[in-house]
Structure formats: C-alpha cells, structure tokens
Structure 1
Amino acid sequence: MKIWLLTHGQLVFLEGLKSCLDLLFGEEQQPGQPSPLQFVSSCDLRALFDFVRLSLAPCGSASWKGPVLLVDDLSVLLSLGATPVAVLDFIHYCRVSVCCQLQGNVVVLVHSSEDSEDEENELVVNSLCHHSDLILWAQGLATGFCKDVHGQVRHSPAEQDLVQIYQYKIQDRNVTFFAPGLSAAVL
C-alpha cells in the first residue's frame, strides 16, 4: 500500500511495504512518533489516519487549498488484518478531513473482480461505490489480447445511471483513450 498526499505545494509519501517491514523487523523509529502502520499488530487504523491528518496540518501562515489524497490499493489493509469496518472508518475520516474541511479530493484504488470470493473486500468495494462521486472500473478486454487495445475503462458518475465505456492503449509516456471500435487497428 502506498499513500500520496499532495498538500501545501508538496508531496507527502508513505511507502507501506517498507514501513511495514521496518515495523515488523524492529527498525528504529523516530522517538515520539508512532508508526503509521502500527495497525499490523493492533488492527487499529488511528495511527494511519493521524499520519494523514498531521500531513494536512497547515505549515506556517500559507494556506494551500485543495489537497489530494491518493491511496494505492486499499485492499492491502484487509490483507494485513484490518477489518472492513476499520478500513471504511479510515476512509470516512480521511474524506471528512480532506474533502469536507479542506475542499480537496480522495482517490482510492481497490482491486475487485466479479467472480471474487473475498467477501470482506467486496463489502469495502460496494460501500465505497455508494459513497463515491465518480467510479472508474479498469479491466482487460473480454476478447483477450490485442496489440492496439490494452483494456477498457467504465466511467460511472454516482448521481447518474449512465455508464460510459472507453478503451485505452498504454504508450511510453501517455495513455490514449477512444470509443470502443475506434482503435487504430480498426480505422
């Protein structure tokens, strides 16, 4: 799991795997600062939220509006032993801090599939879908490999029942999106 927080004109980054290994294998931490990933042993996500909240704290007199919190793979928290309720509480408190108080945005990646048997993960995914303003589902092509199309994205605004589908091709430093059937191979 990785957490990026763009706030006050700078990027705050938490590398979850490295921090988790440091915690498990007893690497020295800074005195007086609990590890953001101490939930691995206690299943309590308060320290992780405190890391986010402290990173959002204003530095000096400069007020920077519109922070963005990116959580890369929320499913990892479940794999590390956090309960679905704890994960949803963590996201709720992050949304209140980032979205409501600071007028920012929260972007969360969660892995899911239609044939998944992981009930806890599906509970988190369904709950996030009900509380999200925008949902993007990225998936491979149902027809298999194609040289000019790497997958498709379903775009679903929360207030509407309208689902838009775009296909994409990943290039060196860019991603090209197009309507289904309009790839370079077809045209």
Structure 2
Amino acid sequence: QGKFTLLRDTRTDGSFLVHHFLSFYLRAGCKVCFVALLQSFSHYNIIAQKLGVSLTAAKERGQLVFLEGLKSCLDLWFGEQEEQSGQPNPLQFISESTSNLKALFDFVWVSLTPASSDSWKGPVLLVDDLSVLLSLGATPVAVLDFIHYCRAVVCSQLKGNIVVLVHSNEDSEDEENELVVNSLCHHSDLILWVEGLATGFCKDVHGQV
C-alpha cells in the first residue's frame, strides 16, 4: 500500500508489464483508474481476456474506471466536448493555452475516492504511458506536478498504489522526456526497467528486466 511503481522501457516495449499489473489488481479486487493514453479500450480488453480478466465486466460492476485517451483527444480536436457527469474532458489542456493537468487530476480523484457503498480494496492508478502527455503539449513541470498530487491523494491519503509507464532512451535528444523520467526515478518506490538487448535482436530473447 502507498507505493509508486515506475515502469521504464528502453529500446523495447514494456507494455506487457502494464497488462500484468492491470489484470493483477483487478483480480485482487482493487478499484482501478486506468489512464490509457496509448491504445484503445478494445486493445487492452483483448489482451486482458487472454490473461483471464474481462475489462468490460470490470467497468460494468464499477471496479474499473477507464479513460480512453485516444477518444478524448478526438472529442477535443473535433469539438465534441460534451461534459460527462458534470466533469470537463480530462485532457482539456490540449485545447487551452496553459499546460494545466488539473482536469486530469480531478478525474483521477473523483474516480478513486471511495463511496460509502464501495467494497473494493485499495485504489490503484495506472497510466500508459506518461510520455504521451508531453507529446500532447504538457510541460515537464505540469506532468511532474500531476504525479505529485496523485501521489499525495492516492498513495498518502487513500493508501493506494500508482503504476506508471514511461518510455526512455539514453541517447534521446528529447530533454523534456528524460527530465521527467529521471525525476520519477528519484521518487519511485520500485523501478522495473525493461531494456532491449545491447547486442541487437534475437529470435528467442527480446530483452531483459
């Protein structure tokens, strides 16, 4: 409880860890808020079914709150900004001049704050992947502030857990992304770093953790 886990991948795809943690926490009976910025709901659901978990059923019983980032972006870009349950689009910052992730934080907060009738175990915030926020125009400071406030609420106040995936490349010229990655490494309770093989690709072994 109260742990911040960083999933970091370099020269390979670490998304298999996201699927592992998603299915693990759902099977454990935790309330999960999944901020999915990289793929569609159907993509995650198909893989989850192979792992023995139905995301559709988890959503219907209120255990899973799923933010489909791709759809939210399209709604903003094409002007379909209908408010759902009185809340603005969580990715509202895309259409604003300021890089403010408050709407996204509010979405997480409302999603994971337990109701009196809830019987779920500790809350979990899962983000795939944080680097996308930078690509959408958020500043490193805004992204780090978002994580800071999420840790204060989810980890400290609600005694839950946070799992975040970030992409990194030691040779990258993307200084903003590396700044965020390095800062998160310093504040993480656990880092799972997935790397491709330094010697190149192999048919049987893709990389190392």
| Normalised TM-score (structure 2) | 0.67
User: What is the aligned counterpart of 1:143 among 192, 195, 199?
Assistant: 199
- Provide structure 2 residue ranges, at least 5 long, that are not aligned to the other structure: 1-17, 23-30, 34-60
Larger Rg: 1
1:79-158 paired onto structure 2 within 5 Å:
79-153=135-209
Equivalent-residue separation in structure 1 for 2:131 and 2:176 (angstroms): 9
User: What is the aligned counterpart of 1:34 among 79, 88, 103?
Assistant: 88
Equivalent-residue separation in structure 1 for 2:147 and 2:119 (angstroms): 24
Equivalent-residue separation in structure 1 for 2:200 and 2:170 (angstroms): 17
* Structure that is richer in helix per residue: 2
User: What is the aligned counterpart of 1:18 among 71, 82, 92?
Assistant: 71
Cα pair distance change 1:27/1:115, threshold 3 Å: same
Cα pair distance change 1:28/1:124, threshold 3 Å: closer
Show the counterpart of 2:105.
49
Q: Would the aligned equivalents of 2:194 and 2:208 in 1 still touch at CA under 8 Å? A: yes
Equivalent-residue separation in structure 2 for 1:28 and 1:52 (angstroms): 19
Equivalent-residue separation in structure 2 for 1:117 and 1:65 (angstroms): 41
Equivalent-residue separation in structure 1 for 2:175 and 2:200 (angstroms): 27
1:70-119: CA deviation from partner (whole Å, max 9, x where unpaired) = 10011111111111110000001111111111111111111101101111
SS in 1 for 2:173: coil
Equivalent-residue separation in structure 2 for 1:68 and 1:28 (angstroms): 27
SS in 1 for 2:144: helix
Residue 6 (structure 1) aligned with residue 36 (structure 2): no
CA shift for structure 1 position 129? 0.4
Q: CA RMSD in A?
A: 2.1
Q: Which has the higher contact order (CA 8 A, sep 6+)?
A: 2
SS in 2 for 1:13: strand
The one-letter amino acid of 2:75's match is D
User: Which of structure 1's runs of 4+ aligned residues deviate more than 6 A?
Assistant: none
Q: Would the aligned equivalents of 1:65 and 1:102 in 2 still touch at CA under 8 Å? A: no
1:104-156: CA deviation from partner (whole Å, max 9, x where unpaired) = 11111111011011111111001100000111111211112222211111xxx
Equivalenced residues, count: 151
Equivalent-residue separation in structure 2 for 1:99 and 1:64 (angstroms): 16
- Provide structure 1 residue ranges, at least 5 long, that are not aligned to the other structure: 154-187
Equivalent-residue separation in structure 2 for 1:95 and 1:85 (angstroms): 15
1:16-69: CA deviation from partner (whole Å, max 9, x where unpaired) = 111011111012513632110101122210000000000012223335332111
